[in-house]
Chain A
Amino acid sequence: MSAAGGARSGRAGGAVRVPDARVGDVRVALHQVRYEQKAYWRNPMAAIFTFLFPIVFLVVVGTSAGASRVPGYTLRYDQYVVVAMLTFGLIAACYTNLAMTVCTRRETGVLKRMRGTPIAIGSYLAGLIGSVLIVVAILTVLVVAIGMAFYHLHFPYHPGAVLVTLLVGIVTFCSLGLAVTVLVPNADAAPAIVNGLYFPVVFISGVFYPLAQGSVLARIADVFPIFHMIRALVSAFEGGPGSGLRVGDLLVMLAWAVGALMVTSRRFRWEPRRPKA
């Protein structure tokens, strides 16, 4: 092994061997995305719960939804369901998937192992989130295509606004997915805590049926980001004057993202919580 011998005898410090240029980190991140994707599609739990579920819900709820207009929107009920399911899918791919992946890896020691290698934390995170982006992109195309084919959905009147809203959604729900790992004490508790926290919010936020405007539920849902994501996305799909962007809704989502990132940066754990002598 001449390389090892050279490093031992010749170089001082050995910094030469680290791919520490920015280009190196980007290349590493791209490789990470590739392997994150392989691992994602081979993991039946991830693929079923975060990818297949939203599609199945869309078909089940969409088929039973009528063609009547949703109060307060110009979309019909079946069109609304498509947009709501797109939101649900994005949350599953970002929040649920990221939270479960990080918890599993932390509890099994994969994160700890990673910290023992020269990888930049940024490259590792970029690999995880890049993989999430691919899943969201596929899911978006699929849900919109199904919606257009079967549920009378128009191609969005404001595609730019759809894209911006999806990006803000990705930032928000990835941040929340990382933040929730702080609350998970061990691997067994992960599904209960991760799902238990967001499922009630999904139900009161109008994912499966539109909220009655001004109702108590609507006022509670107003606090959380899911309702705002649906409203912003519906607005971007609806034909109407202006850009279709609902800045107020996006700002509420971003406020959640900032809070989540603050919690994450202070309390994130790389190792299982375990007293060790």
Chain B
Amino acid sequence: MDPATDRDADVAVSVRGLTKSYGTFRALDGIDLQVRRGEVLALLGPNGAGKTTAVEILEGYRARDGGTVSVLGYDPARRDRALRARMGIVLQECAVDPYLTVAEALTQRSYLYGSPRPVDEVVGLVGLEAKAGSRVKVLSGGQQRRLDLGLALIGNPELIFLDEPTTGFDPSARREAWEVVRDLCAEGRTVLLTTHYMDEAQALADSVVVLAGGRVVASGPPDTLGGRDHGVSTVRFVLPDGVSPADLPLPAGLAAEVRAGSVEFTVAEPTAVLHELTRWALDRGEGLVGLSVSRPSLEDVYLQLTGGEDAP
């Protein structure tokens, strides 16, 4: 593929009918996906779903069996240096020479690129200012991971691959890493990340692709994934003393269950029901204790889509 076909300025990564087998195991069974420039796309899926295989094909590490793949207009299987100069890659394993310091590792890497970012700037970006002069081997796991991210950013890449970037992070380190990804996005860079944290996908991704068994089982913005926005709502409140479920002013056909003293029912459109319920409660002179209305979380949708295997 000629790099000049980099015409579709809006699309950074485009994949059609991608297949890959290891022996008789079909790791990728014809997946399609598209990453628009400047967006964060999260690849979700249980272990063994094919996330890493897909990403490593896009990064040029693995050959595909079939399908078409375009990354910034290049076919990654050809391993053009010009493409590698425009990508940043964070793999699952942290891999830095243990005997160099943070600043040395970044400086060494920066020589490989035509227009690298300043080392100090990257050190600050990943929050390693205090460790710039420390050797890699004395860094904690989380700090090494941040250096890994810094190494992926030093070349000033347009497209960044992050394979499970926050696995093993404590909650505050995760928040900080999310901020870095948001900053990258604000600079107009494109990010493709894999994760099995639902909150990470919810917090960062403009779109989500769910893989299971080597197929795309759902894709779309996290808020509407799998019909989340049209899904039924669950209404829950504490059953007032001396009231039986049959006394509640619920429309006919709506089955309310009582569990551990709480009434729970699902309804497609909760506005009218809630109106009736709250008026009934106010007329009785009491509130509805513990009232909650919830839609299915991304996690609910994910578990339903992937059949609940390998729940995170």
Tell me the A residues contacting B by CB distance below 8 Å: 1, 3-5, 7-9, 12-20, 27-28, 31-32, 35, 38-39, 42-43, 105, 108-110, 112-113, 115-120, 271, 275-277
B115 CB to nearest chain A CB (Å): 5
**Apart from A3-B156, A117-B84, what are 17 other A-B pairs with CB-CB below 8 Å?**
A1-B117, A3-B115, A4-B187, A4-B188, A5-B188, A13-B82, A14-B82, A18-B114, A19-B114, A31-B111, A38-B99, A109-B91, A110-B95, A110-B96, A116-B59, A117-B113, A118-B155
> A3: which B residues are within 8 A, CB to CB?
115, 156
By beta carbon, the residue of chain B nearest A119 is: B112
| A275-B97 contact, Cβ under 8 Å, with A3-B156, A4-B187, A12-B6 | no
Name A15's closest neighbour in chain B (CB-CB): B82
Can you list 30 residue pairs at the A/B interface with Cβ under 8 Å? A4-B187, A7-B86, A7-B115, A7-B156, A8-B37, A13-B6, A14-B3, A14-B6, A14-B72, A17-B82, A18-B85, A20-B82, A31-B108, A38-B100, A38-B104, A105-B97, A109-B94, A109-B95, A112-B61, A112-B95, A113-B91, A115-B61, A116-B91, A118-B81, A118-B113, A276-B22, A276-B53, A277-B47, A277-B48, A277-B53
| Measured CA separation A238–B60 after assembly (Å) | 54
**Cα separation A109 to B155 with both chains bound (whole Å):** 19
Is B73 on the interface with A (CB-CB < 8 A)? yes
B4, A116: Cβ atoms closer than 8 Å: no
Query: A9 → chain B, closest Cβ, in Å?
Result: 8
Binding site for A on B (CB under 8 A): 3-4, 6, 9, 22, 25, 27, 37, 47-48, 50, 52-53, 59-61, 72-73, 81-87, 89, 91, 93-97, 99-100, 104, 108-109, 111-115, 117, 135, 151, 155-156, 158, 187-189
- In whole angstroms, how far apart are the Cα atoms of A275 and B4 in the complex? 36
Interface centre among A4, A115, A116, A119 (most CB of B within 10 A): A116
- Kindly state the separation between the CA atoms of A118 and B50 in the bound complex, as whole angstroms: 26
Q: Which residue of A lies closest to B108 (CB)?
A: A35
User: A12's contact among B4, B60, B113, by CB below 8 Å, is which?
Assistant: B4
Question: Would you give the shortest CB distance from B54 to chain A, in whole angstroms?
Answer: 11
Task: Give, as a whole number of angstroms, the nearest-CB distance from B153 to chain A.
Answer: 10
**Bound form: Cα–Cα A42–B134 in Å:** 13
At the interface, is chain A mostly helix, strand, loop or mixed? helix
Tell me if A276 and B61 are in contact (CB < 8 A).
no
User: If the complex has contacts A38-B99, A113-B89, A118-B84, are A17 and B111 also in contact, measured as CB distance less than 8 A?
Assistant: no
| Cα(A8)–Cα(B111), bound, Å | 21
- Closest residue to A123 on the B side, CB-wise? B112
Given contacts A1-B187, A4-B189, whether A113 and B151 have CB atoms under 8 Å apart is yes
A109 surroundings in chain B (CB, below 8 A): 91, 93-95
Q: Which residue of chain B is the closest to A19 with respect to CB atoms?
A: B114
Contacts known (A28-B112, A276-B53); A110 close to B81, Cβ less than 8 A: no
Q: How far is the CB of B137 from chain A (nearest CB, A)?
A: 9
Q: Which of B53, B108, B188 gathers the greatest number of chain A CB atoms within 10 Å?
A: B108
Bound-state CA distance A187–B112 (Å) is: 28
In the bound assembly, the distance between CA atoms of A9 and B60 in angstroms comes to 24
State A199–B151 Cα separation when bound (angstroms). Answer: 39
Contacts of A38 in B (CB 8 A): 99-100, 104
Report Cα–Cα, A52/B109, bound state, in Å. 30
Task: Kindly state the separation between the CA atoms of A117 and B4 in the bound complex, as whole angstroms.
Answer: 21
Contacts of B87 in A (CB 8 A): 116
Q: Provide the residues of chain A in CB contact with B104, threshold 8 Å.
A: 35, 38
Q: A39-B100, A42-B99 are in contact. Are A17 and B86 (CB under 8 A)?
A: yes
Which residue of chain A has the shortest Cβ distance to B82 in the bound complex?
A15
Bound CA–CA A122/B53 (angstroms) = 27
Also in contact, A18 and B100, with CB within 8 A (given A112-B95, A116-B61, A118-B112): no
How far, in angstroms, from A122 to B61 measured CA to CA in the complex? 18
Looking at the assembled complex, report how far the CB atom of A12 sits from the nearest CB atom of chain B, in whole angstroms: 6
Which of A14, A32, A38, A275 has the most CB atoms of chain B within a 10 A radius of its CB? A14
Known contacts A13-B4, A13-B73; is-contact A117 B96 (Cβ 8 Å): no
Interface centre among B52, B100, B114 (most CB of A within 10 A): B114
* A13:B81 contact, CB within 8 angstroms: no
A138 to chain B, nearest CB (A): 18
Q: Which residues of A contact B48 (CB under 8 A)?
A: 277
Shortest distance in angstroms between A6's beta carbon and chain B's nearest beta carbon? 9
- In the bound complex, CA of A28 to CA of B22 (Å): 36
- Give which listed residue, A12, A32, A108, A117, contacts B93 with CB less than 8 A: A108
CB-defined contacts of B114 to chain A, threshold 8 Å: 16-19
Identity of the chain A residue whose Cβ is nearest the Cβ of B86 in the assembled complex: A14
- Cα separation A271 to B61 with both chains bound (whole Å): 10
Contacts of B4 in A (CB 8 A): 12-13
